[in-house]
Amino acid sequence: MTLETIAVVAIAASLVVGALFTLVAGIGLLKLNGAMPRLHAPTKAGTLGIGAFLMASMIHSWTYDEGSLHELLIMGFLFVTAPVTANFLAKVNIHRRDCDTPPEPPRDDTWSTLLVPVPDQEQDQDQAQGQA
């Protein structure tokens, strides 16, 4: 098996994977109800599908021509901007109250910090004394 044959198989596999992910993204965009569930289909599956298409293009350019890194730049830009865009769209939906708002965080000093609740500290001390 030559290197060119391996490249053709890799290109075909990348195209099939890209087509499947893009199809899933399109179906998810059409079938999911509400703005928040629809965010996941194009930002996750669509990004992976386009990334697979770009990978196939990159393999093809390195196999049959002198090669190009433009696809790598496009992939990097896409993988950086898609999650940021989805985050902004989610924030807009939350602020407009178009969806269920996330639950309120608990009202204590240990939420989102490195502090440990007192009962857990006592339990850790009891376990440490039991092991000693």
Residues 56-70: pLDDT tens digits? 999 999 888 887 888
Angstrom distance (rounded) from CA 79 to CA 85: 11
Residue 17 has what pLDDT? Answer: 96
Residue 16 has what pLDDT? Answer: 97
pTM greater than 0.95 (yes/no): no
Per-residue pLDDT at 94 exceeds 90: no
Q: Mean pLDDT across the chain, nearest whole number?
A: 83
Residues 4-56: pLDDT tens digits? 899 999 999 999 999 999 999 889 888 888 777 788 777 888 889 999 999 99
